[in-house]
Structure formats: C-alpha cells, structure tokens
Amino acid sequence: MIELRIVMNSYAWIEFFLGSDKGKRVFEILSSVDEILTPDLVLAEIGRKYVRGGIHEKTIIERLEFIEENSVILCINSELSVEGAMAYIKLLSEAKSEGKNKPSLTDSVLLAIRRKYSAKIVTGDEIFKGINEVMLI
C-alpha cells in the first residue's frame, strides 16, 4: 500500500540536481516517500532549460534518465488534459486575485495529477503557495 506519493515539478528536480539547500530538502523528501510521479512535460521543461543554459547534452540525458529510473513518468492523456484545463482556470483566477504570475500548462497538469493520484506536489514555485497538499521547498 502506498502511503505517501509525491509529484515532482521541474523546479524541484532542478534544485535537486543543483544540490542547493532547496535541493537538499528535495533529497530528504525523495528519500522518505513511497512513490515519485513526474509528468512527461517536466522532462521536456528540464531538457529545454538545460539546453538553453548550455549544459552538455550527455549531462542532460543522464539527469533525465535518472528521473526516469527513479520516478513513474506520467503521460498526459485525455483525462489529465481536461482535469488540467479545469485546474488552470481555477489557478488563473486565484493568481489574478492574489497578484501572482500566470500559471503554466505544467502547473495545471501537476494539480490534475495531484488530485487523481492523491499526491503532494513538491515545488518551490510561488503559484502553489497556500494550496493544500503542496510541499514548498
């Protein structure tokens, strides 16, 4: 039986690989959970960030393979797409009323995954501040 399931976003994985203080917190979280979920969109975001940052291709592939080997990669299907769209509308409304940045597509998919899989989101992204079941690093 899975007791604690988390869903990781790009922010959390990148901090993990940096080994920053936030990354150390992510390591502690990863070490204490039963299941790690990562949306396929997160792999694409990380790859894009690293390519733009001039990170060597071999390093990028090694990091993405590490994520693939240590978490369940979730492909976005029709159910998650619709749930994500509904979550986006809610996030956008809250962001506007609270003066936060606009949410991304990935943010809304993370919320859909959180709901479907009863997972906690691990992130440092301020858009999630104040949302239940989010572990801010």
- The per-residue b/e assignment along 21-48, b for 16 or more CB within 10 angstroms, e otherwise, is ebbebbeebbeebeebbbbebbbebbbe
Instruction: Determine whether 97 is exposed, middle or buried from the number of CB atoms within 10 Å of its CB (0-12, 13-18, 19+).
Output: exposed
DSSP character for 32? T
Q: What is the pLDDT of residue 1?
A: 63
Please, which pLDDT band fits residue 35 given cuts at 50, 70 and 90?
very high
Q: What is the pLDDT of residue 3?
A: 83
The pTM score is 0.91
3-class DSSP state of 121: strand
Distant-in-sequence, close-in-space partners of 133: CB < 8 Å, separation ≥ 6: 114, 119, 120, 121
Query: What six digits make up the tokens of 5?
Result: 């399931």
Does residue 2 have a pLDDT over 80? no
d(C-alpha 72, C-alpha 75), whole Å: 10
Please, which pLDDT band fits residue 131 given cuts at 50, 70 and 90?
confident
Please, which pLDDT band fits residue 82 given cuts at 50, 70 and 90?
very high
Domains and CATH numbers, the chain: 5-136 (3.40.50.1010)
Digit-coded pLDDT (tens) for 48-81? 999 999 999 999 999 999 999 999 999 999 999 9
